[in-house]
Amino acid sequence: MESGESLEDACRREVREETGLVIADPVQMHTYSDPSRDPRGPTISTIFVARPTGTPRAGDDAADVGIFPLDHLPVPLCFDHARILEDYRTRRWGIGPLSGEAS
Protein backbone atom coordinates (compact mmCIF):
# COMPACT_ATOMS: atom_id res chain seq x y z
CA MET A 1 0.00 0.00 0.00
CA GLU A 2 1.01 3.55 -0.56
CA SER A 3 0.27 6.45 1.75
CA GLY A 4 -3.37 7.58 1.48
CA GLU A 5 -4.38 4.47 -0.46
CA SER A 6 -7.23 2.13 0.53
CA LEU A 7 -6.73 -1.65 0.32
CA GLU A 8 -9.10 -1.72 -2.67
CA ASP A 9 -7.14 1.01 -4.46
CA ALA A 10 -3.86 -0.78 -3.69
CA CYS A 11 -5.35 -3.99 -5.11
CA ARG A 12 -6.42 -2.23 -8.33
CA ARG A 13 -3.01 -0.56 -8.70
CA GLU A 14 -0.98 -3.71 -7.98
CA VAL A 15 -3.03 -5.84 -10.40
CA ARG A 16 -2.57 -3.19 -13.11
CA GLU A 17 1.20 -2.82 -12.41
CA GLU A 18 1.95 -6.55 -12.21
CA THR A 19 -0.37 -7.94 -14.91
CA GLY A 20 -1.63 -5.04 -17.05
CA LEU A 21 -5.20 -6.08 -16.18
CA VAL A 22 -7.87 -3.69 -14.92
CA ILE A 23 -10.31 -4.61 -12.15
CA ALA A 24 -13.25 -2.42 -11.19
CA ASP A 25 -14.80 -3.73 -7.97
CA PRO A 26 -12.51 -5.98 -5.92
CA VAL A 27 -14.28 -7.83 -3.08
CA GLN A 28 -12.23 -8.75 -0.02
CA MET A 29 -12.15 -12.50 0.63
CA HIS A 30 -9.88 -12.85 3.69
CA THR A 31 -6.63 -11.68 5.29
CA TYR A 32 -3.94 -14.31 5.87
CA SER A 33 -1.47 -13.50 8.65
CA ASP A 34 0.07 -16.73 9.98
CA PRO A 35 3.65 -15.69 10.84
CA SER A 36 5.01 -18.90 9.29
CA ARG A 37 3.23 -18.50 5.92
CA ASP A 38 6.29 -16.94 4.25
CA PRO A 39 9.80 -18.28 5.02
CA ARG A 40 11.26 -14.79 4.43
CA GLY A 41 9.44 -13.47 7.49
CA PRO A 42 6.01 -12.41 8.72
CA THR A 43 3.82 -11.29 5.82
CA ILE A 44 0.19 -10.23 5.80
CA SER A 45 -1.83 -10.72 2.59
CA THR A 46 -5.36 -9.50 2.06
CA ILE A 47 -6.97 -11.47 -0.75
CA PHE A 48 -9.48 -9.91 -3.14
CA VAL A 49 -11.70 -11.49 -5.77
CA ALA A 50 -12.46 -9.57 -8.98
CA ARG A 51 -13.06 -10.03 -12.69
CA PRO A 52 -10.30 -8.53 -14.84
CA THR A 53 -10.42 -6.90 -18.24
CA GLY A 54 -7.55 -6.45 -20.66
CA THR A 55 -4.68 -8.53 -21.95
CA PRO A 56 -2.25 -9.89 -19.35
CA ARG A 57 1.38 -8.77 -19.54
CA ALA A 58 4.19 -9.10 -17.00
CA GLY A 59 5.29 -5.86 -15.39
CA ASP A 60 7.27 -4.43 -12.47
CA ASP A 61 8.00 -7.37 -10.14
CA ALA A 62 6.48 -10.11 -12.32
CA ALA A 63 8.83 -12.17 -14.48
CA ASP A 64 5.91 -13.73 -16.35
CA VAL A 65 2.12 -13.75 -16.29
CA GLY A 66 -0.51 -16.32 -17.24
CA ILE A 67 -4.15 -17.25 -16.80
CA PHE A 68 -4.88 -20.78 -15.60
CA PRO A 69 -8.07 -22.71 -14.80
CA LEU A 70 -8.33 -23.53 -11.09
CA ASP A 71 -8.00 -27.24 -11.85
CA HIS A 72 -4.84 -26.77 -13.97
CA LEU A 73 -2.57 -24.51 -11.92
CA PRO A 74 1.22 -24.57 -12.15
CA VAL A 75 2.90 -26.70 -9.49
CA PRO A 76 4.29 -25.92 -7.04
CA LEU A 77 2.66 -22.72 -5.87
CA CYS A 78 4.69 -20.66 -3.42
CA PHE A 79 4.08 -20.19 0.29
CA ASP A 80 0.44 -20.83 1.29
CA HIS A 81 -1.09 -19.96 -2.07
CA ALA A 82 -2.51 -23.47 -2.59
CA ARG A 83 -4.39 -23.10 0.71
CA ILE A 84 -5.68 -19.67 -0.31
CA LEU A 85 -6.98 -21.07 -3.60
CA GLU A 86 -8.56 -24.02 -1.80
CA ASP A 87 -10.34 -21.56 0.51
CA TYR A 88 -11.61 -19.78 -2.62
CA ARG A 89 -12.71 -23.05 -4.29
CA THR A 90 -14.63 -24.18 -1.21
CA ARG A 91 -16.04 -20.72 -0.40
CA ARG A 92 -14.58 -21.03 3.10
CA TRP A 93 -14.89 -17.26 3.59
CA GLY A 94 -18.15 -16.97 1.64
CA ILE A 95 -16.51 -15.93 -1.63
CA GLY A 96 -15.58 -18.27 -4.44
CA PRO A 97 -16.95 -19.99 -7.52
CA LEU A 98 -20.58 -20.99 -7.29
CA SER A 99 -21.56 -24.59 -7.99
CA GLY A 100 -21.47 -25.15 -11.74
CA GLU A 101 -19.70 -21.82 -12.40
CA ALA A 102 -16.61 -21.92 -14.58
CA SER A 103 -13.50 -21.50 -12.49
Structural contact between residues 89 and 70, judged by C-beta atoms closer than 8 angstroms: yes
Tell me, what DSSP letter sits at residue 80?
Answer: T
What fold, for 7-89?
Nucleoside Triphosphate Pyrophosphohydrolase (3.90.79)
User: Rounded to an integer, what distance in angstroms lies between the CA atom of residue 38 and that of residue 52?
Assistant: 27
pLDDT value at position 99?
Answer: 61
pLDDT value at position 60?
Answer: 72
Q: Where are the domains of the chain?
A: 7-89
DSSP 17-61: HHHS-EES--EEEEEE--TTSSTTS---EEEEE--EES-----TT
| Chunked mean pLDDT (size 10), the chain, 103 residues | 96 93 96 93 95 91 85 92 95 84 51
pLDDT value at position 100?
Answer: 55
